[in-house]
Structure 1
Amino acid sequence: MFFSGRQFAAAAFVALPLVASPALAQESAMSAPVATISVAAEGTASVAPDMAIVSLAVVSRAETAEAAMTDNNQSMQKVLDALKASGIAAKDIQTDNFSINPQYKQVTSDDGSESRVIDGYQVVNGLDVTVRALDNLGAVLDQSVKLGVNSGGNITFTNADPSAAQEAARKQAVAKAMAKAKTLADAAGVSLGNVLAISEGGSAPQPLLRTASFAMKDMGSVPIATGENDYDVTVNMTFAIGQ
């Protein structure tokens, strides 16, 4: 049978939709929204600390700034020498703050007016000290106070390498998230499909560090209780709902 050019074009036009229809159906199926279940869960791992960061400060006061500085320098040098003698490395001793400030008092003039006048100067020299041998912490604190430390006293217990605890917390968080997703799927009467997305909440696992403090006066031996540090990790997971 012979077709004219116009008849052939019409036949081709009619056939094209029939040829393209499987591709259109596939594209439509791919663009259909996927039913999902999204959950979040937290994992926690506890580990005993193996180091401490202690804040110590020497505060000196005198009539002149020079006298206050001299007194402070002498006391702080004794503290630094004692810390190094106890085995603390120079890299673990860092100046945290240093300040020189006038101290004022309120005075009343003969005419009854009040004004503030300088009544001496105060010098503060603070340190952050990392103590890696916790058994030596009490002795370090005791000796520091005896040599002139009279302010500070906050202690943060931490870990040099918390990666093992963080990994355990991650695994626990993922296991909890998967169990939660399965519970939701079972309750809804659907099956749980593949994991579509997983992410860790926050920028990095953050520890709940133990802190303590000690008094600066009437100290004998300093008792220290280190406890444990908790490392928390949050994960977010998205699962497909199976058919």
Structure 2
Amino acid sequence: MIRSVRTLSLGAVLLAASALTAPAAFAQEAPMAGMHMMQAPPSLNLSAYGEVRMAPDMATISFGVVTEAPTAAAAMRQNASRMTEVMAALRRAGIAERDVQTSGLNLSAQYDYVQNQPPKLRGYQASNRVTVTINDLSKVGTTADAVVAAGVNQIDGIGFGLQDSSAAEDRARQLAVRALQARAALYSQALGVPLGGIRSLTESGGYSPRPPSPMYARAEMSMDAAATPVAAGELTVRIDISGVYDLAR
């Protein structure tokens, strides 16, 4: 009697195990069959851009005062004296303090090198560089002349930009979208397939100031000389976009 009960119990366990295993195998096969039946809808992946050209309304000038002296203290003292005159010249030119920023202050030893001899200390060089933002382009040339007359002996470069680029960027976006829509319609017509809605849209690019161009300070200039001519030219604001359009089946 005890032996028959054990046999029935083992059979029940095997039956239950088989009952649990069969649906699991079926459940694994069902999604795979559905995946084979699904196909990605046809689509167009296109890109376009919009550009706006406009005149800049601001400029930045980077310049510096470089002095040399036998001692470090003397080099720094001479540099500070000349830079004080430069700052005063900027104020007289109508440049606000908030538009003047120190961009570099350096002191380094200077050596003379002769072949087969150890380096010989010549003195020390002090350098003080500032970057000035000019919001009135008519003052760019006169400002450059004023700081040179006050003691600047190194002008690193000048760059032009926009005080507010949002309007130009928005106009470029509109032109980019129109170009993208026209390109999508052209492909749809050429393929003979109706164009669906847009699935996604991405943007890149935007306004970036023009890199500074080199300028060189004049060692000598007369106070009655004409202002240094400066041509601002035009800036290009470009927006790049990419879009994915659905095509009707």
What TM-score do the two structures reach when normalised by structure 2?
Answer: 0.79
Deviation at 1:133, TM superposition (A): 1.0
Q: Paired residue for 1:199?
A: 202
Please identify the structure whose Cα radius of gyration is greater: 2
Give the alignment of 1:61-140 within 5 angstroms.
61-107=68-114, 113-140=116-143
Q: Paired residue for 2:60?
A: 53
What percent identity do the matched residue pairs reach?
32
Deviation at 1:129, TM superposition (A): 0.3
Deviations 1:104-136 (A, max 9, x none): 11246xxxx411121111011000100111111
State the AA in 1 paired with 2:126. Answer: V
CA distance in 2, matches of 1:191, 1:207: 38
Q: Is the 8 A contact 2:161 2:209 kept in 1?
A: no
Structure number with higher strand proportion: 1
CA distance in 2, matches of 1:104, 1:126: 22
Q: Is the 8 A contact 2:195 2:245 kept in 1?
A: yes
Q: Which runs of 5+ in 2 are unaligned?
A: 1-30
Equivalenced residue count is: 212
**Structure 1 vs Structure 2 CA RMSD:** 2.1
CA distance in 2, matches of 1:92, 1:183: 50
Q: Paired residue for 1:241?
A: 247
Q: Paired residue for 1:5?
A: none
State the AA in 1 paired with 2:191. Answer: A
Of the candidates 161, 167, 170, which is equivalent to residue 167 of structure 1? 170
Deviations 1:165-190 (A, max 9, x none): 00011111111111111222222221
Q: Is the 8 A contact 1:158 1:210 kept in 2?
A: no
Deviation at 1:231, TM superposition (A): 0.7
Q: Is the 8 A contact 1:56 1:151 kept in 2?
A: yes
Deviations 1:191-234 (A, max 9, x none): 211111111125xx133626444321255420011111111110
What TM-score do the two structures reach when normalised by structure 1?
Answer: 0.81
State the AA in 2 paired with 1:50. Answer: D
Q: Paired residue for 1:20?
A: none
SS in 1 for 2:113: strand
State the AA in 2 paired with 1:186. Answer: Q
Q: Is the 8 A contact 1:210 1:228 kept in 2?
A: no
With over 3 angstroms needed to count, the CA separation of the structure-2 counterparts of 1:107 and 1:211, relative to structure 1, is closer
CA distance in 2, matches of 1:184, 1:114: 74
CA distance in 2, matches of 1:188, 1:118: 77
